[in-house]
């Protein structure tokens, strides 16, 4: 059985938050709270220094997070974390 690796990526603060080149891999789960700026995203099947792609599902979570200003999705497992853009 082959298990796909998953990774957390932090938003580098510049560029389109839906573009893979705007993220850098981190090795710990973020401790971000709700806010107005993307903090980090969790991607399934990604392990590179920057993600190869961002799924349509996670892109939708990013968009909803920026509009609603809460981590997404609203269920138990979060794929998008926000932070205060203060």
Going by pLDDT thresholds of 50, 70 and 90, the confidence category of residue 80 is: very high
Going by pLDDT thresholds of 50, 70 and 90, the confidence category of residue 1 is: low
- For residue 62, the number of C-alpha atoms closer than 13 Å in the C-beta half-sphere is 22
Would you state the torsion angle of the CA atoms of residues 15, 64, 8, 21, taken in this order, to the nearest 10 degrees?
-20
Q: Which two tokens stand for residue 74?
A: 């609203």
Q: pTM (2 decimals)?
A: 0.91
Q: What is the pLDDT of residues 15-62, one digit of tens each?
A: 999 999 999 999 998 888 888 999 999 999 999 999 999 999 999 999
Given this model, what pLDDT does residue 38 score?
96
């Amino acid at each position: 059985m082959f298990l796909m690796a998953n990774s957390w990526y932090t938003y580098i603060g510049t560029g389109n938050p839906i573009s893979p080149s705007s993220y850098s891999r981190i090795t710990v789960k973020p401790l971000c709270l709700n806010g107005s700026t993307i903090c980090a995203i969790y991607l399934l099947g990604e392990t590179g220094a920057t993600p190869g792609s961002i799924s349509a599902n996670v892109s939708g979570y990013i968009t909803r997070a920026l509009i609603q200003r809460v981590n997404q999705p609203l269920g138990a497992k979060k794929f998008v974390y926000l932070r205060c853009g203060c």
